[in-house]
A = this chain, B = another copy of it.
Amino acid sequence: MRRFPAHPFQPLQDGDKLKEECGIFGVVGVTDAASFVALGLHALQHRGQEAGGIVTHHPEHGFNSARRFGYVRDNFTRPDVIATLPGSIGIGHVRYSTAGSKGATAIRDVQPFFGEFSMGGAAIAHNGNLTNAAALRRELIERGSIFQSSSDSECIIHLMARSIQKTISERIKDALRRVEGAFSVIAMTRTKLIGVRDALGVRPLVLGRVGDSGWALASETCALDIIGADFVREIDPGEMVIIEGNKVESSRPFGAAKSRFCIFEQVYFSRPDSQYGGRSVYETRRQIGVELAREAPVEADIVCPVPDSGTPAAIGFSQESGIPFALGITRNQYVGRTFIEPTEQIRNMGVRLKLNVNRALIKGKRVILVDDSVVRGTTSRKIKDMVLEAGAAEVHFRIASPPTAWPCFYGVDTPERSKLLAATMTEDEMRDWIGVDSLKFISLDGLYRAAGEAAGRDPAAPKFCDACFSGDYPVVPSDKIEEGFQMKAAE
Note all chain B residues with C-beta closer than 8 A to A138: 118
Nearest CB of B to A422, in Å: 27
Q: Are A273 and B330 in contact (CB under 8 A)?
A: yes
Q: A279 on the interface (CB 8 Å rule)? A: yes
A142–B116 Cα distance when bound, in Å, is 10
Q: Are B118 and A142 in contact (CB under 8 A)?
A: yes
Known A64-B1, A283-B361, A361-B282; contact A146-B118, beta-carbon cutoff 8 A: no
Note all chain B residues with C-beta closer than 8 A to A335: 73
Within 8 A of B (CB), among A325-364: 325-327, 330, 332-337, 339-343, 345-346, 349, 352-353, 356-361
Nearest CB of B to A204, in Å: 15
Within 8 A of B (CB), among A196-245: 221-222, 225-228
Note all chain B residues with C-beta closer than 8 A to A324: 319
Q: Are B358 and A280 in contact (CB under 8 A)?
A: yes
Contact partner, A118, options B61, B141, B279, B349, Cβ 8 Å = B141
Closest B residue, CB atoms, query A347:
B77
Q: A79 on the interface (CB 8 Å rule)? A: yes
Q: A147 on the interface (CB 8 Å rule)? A: yes
A270-301 vs B, CB cutoff 8 Å, 1 = contact: the mask equals: 01110100111011001000000000000000
Q: A435 on the interface (CB 8 Å rule)? A: no
Note all chain B residues with C-beta closer than 8 A to A5: 80, 83-84
Contact partner, A145, options B71, B145, B315, Cβ 8 Å = B145
Q: A399 on the interface (CB 8 Å rule)? A: no
Q: Are A353 and B226 in contact (CB under 8 A)?
A: yes
Note all chain B residues with C-beta closer than 8 A to A72: 334
Within 8 A of B (CB), among A48-107: 49, 61-65, 71-74, 77-80, 82-84
Q: Are A315 and B327 in contact (CB under 8 A)?
A: yes
Q: How many residues of A contact B (CB 8 A)?
A: 100
Q: A19 on the interface (CB 8 Å rule)? A: no
Q: A114 on the interface (CB 8 Å rule)? A: yes
- What is the interface of chain A, defined by CB distance below 8 A to chain B? 1-5, 8-9, 31-32, 35-36, 38-39, 42-43, 45-46, 49, 61-65, 71-74, 77-80, 82-84, 114-118, 121, 138, 141-142, 144-148, 157-158, 161-162, 221-222, 225-228, 271-273, 275, 278-280, 282-283, 286, 308, 311-312, 315, 319, 324-327, 330, 332-337, 339-343, 345-346, 349, 352-353, 356-361
19 contacts between A and B (CB under 8 A): A1-B64, A1-B65, A1-B114, A31-B345, A39-B346, A42-B334, A46-B333, A74-B340, A77-B346, A118-B138, A141-B161, A144-B144, A144-B145, A144-B161, A145-B145, A273-B358, A282-B361, A315-B326, A333-B337
Q: Given contacts A45-B334, A118-B141, list 9 more A-B pairs with CB under 8 A.
A: A1-B116, A45-B333, A77-B343, A77-B346, A118-B142, A225-B357, A273-B358, A273-B361, A279-B360
